[in-house]
Structure 1
Amino acid sequence: MKKFFLNLLSVMLIGGVLSGCVSSNTGSSNDGGSDGDSANDKLTIAVVPKLIGIPYFNASEKGALAAGKELGVEVEYTGPTQADAAGQVKIIEDLISRNVDVIAVAPNDPAAVEPVLRKAKDQGIHIMDWDTPANNVDISVRSVDDEEFGRHSAKKLIEAMGTEEGEIAILTGGLSAANLNAWIEYALKEFEENYPGIKVVTEKIPTDEKQQVAHQKTLDLIKSYPNLKGILAMSTPAPLGAAQAIQEKGLQDKISVVGTALPTDSLPFLQDGSLDTAVLWNPSNLGYLTVALGKLLAEEKQIEDGMNIEGIGEITVLEDGISVIMAPPADFTKENAADYDF
């Protein structure tokens, strides 16, 4: 009997803890005439990255949590440990069961998360995407304009190569990542339209968002294409792995590498020329902007073109009224990378 009561007490305690994780903005009644100013009435914004544990999404988390603190909202930053669409679906299902106010997801596979996002929307939860577009969202938070970014990255590779002719290869993170696919497609258009002497030997080599995979795939490329002159690497671990392979082989003067990477991670490779240029933006600002716009969305406030977001600056809202562009791309080189702390 004593064991029975101890088990019962444990269940009651666990239930109490879990109930405290549920957003208070669930439409529950206030029979006692509460004015709704308790801590439980805070908006809860869940930010779901492609995966946790890599520098890019660690920096995004830092910005998202800072926004939560400054703007007075609860922020839950949670994602799978691998770039896995099924893992994201499970996490979103859990967030739905706790009835958070806003879910902002950077989908590994937009098609895979679409049904669960629709379920969340049917329950009255506001849906956003960030970093990578999803379908049927209320707001789409984009770091940059996809076409501008893709074409700019292609031009930076040509500039690094010092020639408009030769063989190049393209690394990517995951084949289903919509943002990476868009950047690559626009880069390919730039090569095709303006650099006919460029031969793309392979368009999308997946690296699973892992530096070590990008490293091995680059070693394979070097062996398979002895005349390779350039590598364009999309996804933040990919250019680091590619540069690592170039560094090991001592091919800094033969093969140019341009890709999406953080300046702090890129600095050792930029300094010895194994990475020519890292093209990106401030991911901490992207995390901050996502939470700031999530709060406006939950409060049903209008998000307008040219609106100034404190700490971010003016944003661009496209004609669809949904897509928000944070800023133009930034180039990090051996001359300026040490000036940044992300």
Structure 2
Amino acid sequence: MTKSQSLRATLLAAPLLFAGFATARAEAIDTSKSIHVAMVPKLVGLSVFKANEKGAKEAAKLLNIKFLYTGPVTASAQGQVDVFNSLIARRFDVITTTSNNPTQLAPALKRAMKQGIKVVSYDSDVAPDARDFFIQNTAYDALGKALVDGVAKYAGADAKVAILSSTPDATIQNEWIKALKAYMTSAYPKMTIVTTQYGQSSPSQSLTAGLNILQANPDVTGIIAPDGAAEVGAAAAAQKLGKTGKVFVTGCSDPDSIRQYVKAGIIRESPLWDEVKEGMLVMYVARLAANKAIGPNSTFTAGSLGTFTAKNRVIVFSKPLIFTKANIDNYQF
């Protein structure tokens, strides 16, 4: 064993308690053969996906993965399909992706699987028969509850609320919206959703949508924005219109992007998870899938991240991590 291989084996075996998952020593992961793994986000440039990339690069070094980060410049399903076709032609070993449209991406990913390429979705799922595994950020009902509670606590149990999402077909956002509506109905029956708008995962389009929401609906006191760009756009709109302390925004964005709005009091609570460590987990699952060392219902150890369980090929990454003014400076991504 070379010195670099010995160091890699030591790092893979290091135990660490993380996010409520059990501490365990890593099982040996065969990294003797180099593999090519691509990470294809909804679009390049969005901060949450950059955080995924950062973690994926760190893990790739440990796992003998030749890593490529590539994707469309706008939130386009066809743009992702074009990228997949290129990766299939180049015979990558694993494609990992977060979906702009679960059905539109399916044919290309099924073609990849037929050619022996493993497919791992994360964040926003593709059609289940078009991937080998899905890494779900957090349980949908837990995230939906956190989003609604984050508005109700400050805007009130009878608040009029708007939703500002990414795109109409985004799998993960639609699951969260479904979950938050169910929780809102049971926990806050007097709370109402007056409009649902979309910002196309673009900060500028989300700002425009946020301004339109607040100008057209002056009685809205809460905006739930389950998308990184949408939360920033909604918060910027509330600030621009002088509604700090009158309109409360929550959503799902990285701490670096929302820090100024949290400190200004526009965002009081914002649930997410550690995007960097999720990117690391994506690479561990990709490596294990390529090795055929993970089953559809199995428990595995992902190095220092801890132990995880696949159930029907779905792996839940973390419980919601709530960013507040008190803790947001503890996180830098």
Into which bin does the TM-score normalised by the smaller protein fall?
Answer: 0.7 to 0.9
Cα shift readout 1:20-75 (whole Å, capped 9, x = no counterpart): xxxxxxxxxxxxxxxxxxx9x51111111111111111111111111111111111
Correspondence for 1:337: 328
The residue number in structure 2 matching 1:166 is 159
- C-alpha distance after superposition, 1:58-99 (max 9, x if no partner): 111111111111111111111111111111101100110111
* Equivalent residue in structure 1 for 2:280, among 278, 288, 291: 288
C-alpha deviations, 1:209-268, integer Å up to 9, x for none?
A: 011212111111111111111110011011111111111222122111111111121111
One-letter identity of the residue aligned with 2:307: E
Which residues in structure 2 correspond to 1:113-128 (within 5 Å)? 113-128=105-120
Rounded to whole Å, the distance in 1 between the matches of 2:59 and 2:73 is 23
3-state SS in 2 of match to 1:92: helix
Q: 1:72 aligns with which of 64, 69, 85?
A: 64
Ranked by relative contact order (alpha carbons within 8 Å, sequence separation 6 or more), the top structure is 2
Deviation at 1:305, TM superposition (A): 5.2
Shift of 1:311: 2.8
Which of 208, 225, 232 in structure 2 is aligned with 1:240?
Answer: 232
CA distance in 2: counterparts of 1:268 and 1:299, whole angstroms: 43
Question: Counterpart of 2:16?
Answer: none
1:288-307 equivalences under 5 Å are 288-303=280-295, 306-307=299-300
Partner of 2:85: 93
User: Any gaps of 5 or more consecutive residues in structure 2?
Assistant: 1-31
1:272 equivalenced with 2:260 (yes/no): no
Superposition CA RMSD, Å: 1.7
> Is the Cα–Cα contact under 8 Å of residues 315 and 327 in structure 1 kept in the other structure?
no
Offset of residue 107 of structure 1: 1.3
Given residue 309 of structure 1, which amino acid in structure 2 is its aligned partner?
A
Residue 45 of structure 1 is matched in structure 2 by 37
Q: What secondary structure does 1:317 align onto?
A: strand
Rounded to whole Å, the distance in 1 between the matches of 2:226 and 2:259 is: 17
Report the counterpart of residue 102 of structure 1 in structure 2: 94
CA distance in 2, matches of 1:307, 1:299: 13
Give the number of aligned pairs: 301
Structure 2 residue 151 is the aligned partner of structure 1 residue 157: yes
Identity %: 28
In the TM superposition, residue 306 of structure 1 has moved relative to its aligned partner by 5.0
Structure 1 stretches of 5 or more lacking a match? Answer: 1-38
Answer whether contact 2:252 2:272 (CA < 8 A) is retained: yes
Q: CA deviation at 1:143?
A: 1.3
Counterpart AA for 2:202? K
Q: 1:141 maps to what in 2? A: 135
Match for residue 178 of structure 1 among 171, 174, 183: 171
What is residue 18 of structure 2 aligned with on the other side? none
Q: Deviations over 1:117-170 (max 9, x none)?
A: 111111111111111111211111111111211122112211132x21121100
Distance apart, 1:302 and its partner CA = 2.5
How far apart, in 2, do the equivalents of 1:194 and 1:47 lie? 38
Residue 147 of structure 2 aligns to a residue whose secondary structure is helix
Q: Does 1:219 align with 2:201?
A: no
SS for the counterpart of 1:209 is: coil
Partner secondary structure for residue 71 of structure 2: coil
1:326 aligns with 2:326: no
Letter in 2 for 1:157: V
Give the letter aligned to residue 211 of structure 1: P
Q: Please, which moves more after superposition, 149-158 or 296-305?
A: 296-305
Taking the aligned partners of 1:92 and 1:194, their CA distance within structure 2 comes to: 42
Amino acid at match of 2:168: L
TM-score (norm: length of structure 2):
0.87
Contact 1:262 1:278 in 2 (8 A): no
The residue type equivalent to 1:97 in the other structure is: A
Matches within 5 A, 1:251-270: 251-270=243-262
1:89 and 1:228, CA in 2 relative to 1: closer, same or farther beyond 3 A? Answer: same
Equivalent position of 1:129 in the other structure: 121
| 1:341 partner letter | Q
- Counterpart in the other structure of 1:12: none
Q: Is the 8 A contact 1:316 1:326 kept in 2?
A: no
- The one-letter amino acid of 1:124's match is G
Distance in 2 (alpha carbons) for counterparts of 1:174 and 1:316: 30
Q: Which amino acid is 1:139 matched to? A: F
- Secondary structure, aligned partner of 1:110: coil
Looking at CA atoms only, which structure, 1 or 2, has the larger radius of gyration?
1
